[in-house]
Structure 1
């Protein structure tokens, strides 16, 4: 059995703690350790009416022994108050400590993978956080210059080439080099982590009907098509650009293992339509396995015992599967 997974606390005012408690309560998951304040987690279980015993541990190895009887929690250096629905800048150091600890455990091999609960970026930025988001922080901790975001569900995997930028900025940001590098990282991850020997990558066009040979925009012809040709020359089974409006129905999905999309909503609308509760955010290109639920902090429902743990459960299972493949171990 490989090392237990490390799960971060996420935004303590959000739903991360309660979905972790609910996930453990299913008793059907590989072992993991939550990096949090044990007293806070116990109080949260009581507030939610969940019969989940919580036990403080010294690390993942001890968590493996504890997991069958209690939720193992690796304590943070400072206590974290139970305050649901209202984020506080005072908890920012604890949130960042949880992430740093999880990555350190994964990088050392003590943890099999990192599963991150959602963070509230505004709180962290107000406290001096200098990264655009969660993923960029993980890339720095992992010592890599570039990562790729994949959203994965039971029936679809999508990767946006450009992510959190305005739609009007996408054409200028889209380059052949960006598409090529993204495609290479995706192909490598599909082989290494998903166990697909000869991955097929469908590449979406930017414009309606993939530009119709320049009649509705030239980006597909002048940027995307040459990038696809380069990926093919690399031996990657990439094809496109394809009209995005016919790329995501069932018969089309059967022809590829991942879809490379040109902007955020082109990728996220289909995956959230098909797998709203089971979608997983996977960071490709890191020296450790990292997954996350495909949702935010849900501050409006925190503490109401209605948050569904499905996406976190899927993220835990996928992380364990990827860790087993990458490191040659079985769960």
Structure 2
């Protein structure tokens, strides 16, 4: 019996032309360079038979509403050339983000509230291939100094075929080496100041619902509430009064930029960020302020823009 290994994994993802129709991703064109991947082959509800019999014992169950799930992280980096779609673009599109390409300049991803795309995902765990179609999900982002920044994706898809298949020859040329978060590589601005930032993260906050009906099964994104947190060094009130900002429900702009060379820059921008209740902390003896963030739409579907340029 052949032994299979945990670290031998290939994940492929490709946008679907129509919902739930297998887009047949390939290793040459659609491989995802990921880390910390978890594949849940079957998610479902156990429906008990609950039979009344002349003797005790569990009569078993029937699995209902089955689908599959994959979680994993992708390094945040550019493409090497302005206006080129990043290798992870398909995963962003599966999270309810529209892809807008400006040739020779940039690729932007902005949330949409209708017509969200779906992807087909193949997850090959050392020779056993798990197919998911109609996959959609959500993402989070983490920027922490001295660490590689990453997208964290959680995607659910309709259960496709599970079969023995050889690992595909995965091509990762669309993925560039990531830079660590640092003063040299990263800048952060919020509400008009550029504080010393210890961490920034946000969660796109899609509400993802597997909808399993007669004649219709799908994975739906039915709502979105984007939130986050940043930990910064505490500043005098004359520099920024975060208490008044929170008490008066003042919204402001936020921009996190990672990378300095054109072709390898990724930005996270929001024009309407509300700050919640500030709390204090201690980092290496330095007073810090932790700010919960709510990223609100300004004129609709614009609470966050992910820009690769």
Query: Which TM-score band (shorter chain)?
Result: under 0.3
TM-score, normalised to structure 2, is: 0.26
Q: Which has the higher contact order (CA 8 A, sep 6+)?
A: 1
Larger radius of gyration: 2
Question: Counting helix residues as a fraction of each chain, which structure ranks higher?
Answer: 1
Q: With the length of structure 1 as denominator, give the TM-score of the two structures.
A: 0.25
